[in-house]
């Protein structure tokens, strides 16, 4: 059971001034916690999220949990679409505009040069906040329920944003074509 003080402090941490990704990847702790991805309103305009308290030019896009914040963000979200729901979602949403291409490995991934292009896009457009918490799973669920980040599907209500995110993810997977025989 989460107490109100824990949820309030975590919310305050996540609504603090977002860090550019170049600084965040160095400053992120190696402990467990919850992280929040932020974007200016002109990025993914059809997905409005809560405005950041300290930077009104940023709005919340996505929340996630991690047992090790630094490695989750740096090794998964900023490197590998096969291990990041956020990257797959962004790739699906941006596929037409950015001409991203996918391929099969043991799963659907962006081709290597497009992985690099998506990482560059993320560094250029997104920022990050986080809160260290030893038990991030229940906190993440509570924060998604309260803050309703538009790119999260799990824990959100049915709605237009949720449906478009699911469609973008389906488009991402379908773009690789049928799974090759092993």
What's the pLDDT at 138?
Answer: 95
pLDDT of residue 154: 83
Three-state helix/strand/coil letters over 114-178:
HHHHHHHHHHHHCEEEEEECCCHHHHHHHHHHHHCCCCCCCCCCCCHHHHHHHHHHHHHHHCCCC
What is the mean pLDDT of the segment spanning 149-175?
88
What is the C-alpha separation between 117 and 125, in angstroms, rounded? 12
Q: What angle do CA 160, 157, 135 make, to 5 degrees?
A: 130
Task: Enter the pTM of the model.
Answer: 0.94
pLDDT digit string, tens, across residues 61-117: 999 999 999 999 999 999 999 999 999 999 999 999 999 999 999 999 999 999 999
From CA 121, how far away is CA 175, in angstroms rounded? 20
Average pLDDT value for the chain: 94
What is the rounded CA–CA span in Å between residue 115 and residue 131? 27
Distance, in Å, from the CA atom of 96 to the CA atom of 119, rounded to the nearest integer, reads 17
């Amino acid at each position: 059971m989460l107490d109100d003080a824990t949820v309030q402090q975590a919310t305050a941490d996540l609504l603090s001034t977002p860090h550019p990704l170049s600084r965040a990847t160095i400053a992120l702790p190696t402990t467990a916690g919850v992280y929040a991805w932020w974007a200016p309103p002109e990025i993914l305009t059809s997905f409005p999220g809560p405005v950041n308290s300290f930077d009104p030019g940023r709005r919340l896009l996505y929340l996630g949990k991690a047992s090790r914040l630094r490695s989750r963000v740096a090794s998964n979200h900023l490197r590998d679409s096969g291990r990041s729901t956020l990257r797959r979602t962004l790739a699906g949403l941006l596929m037409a505009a950015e001409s991203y291409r996918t391929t099969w490995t043991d799963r659907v991934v962006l081709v290597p040069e497009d992985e690099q292009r998506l990482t560059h896009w993320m560094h250029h457009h997104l920022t990050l906040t986080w809160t260290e918490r030893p038990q991030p799973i229940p906190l993440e669920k509570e924060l998604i329920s309260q803050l309703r980040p538009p790119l999260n599907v799990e824990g959100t209500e049915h709605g237009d944003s949720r449906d478009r995110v699911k469609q973008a993810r389906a488009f991402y997977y379908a773009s690789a074509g049928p799974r090759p025989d092993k």
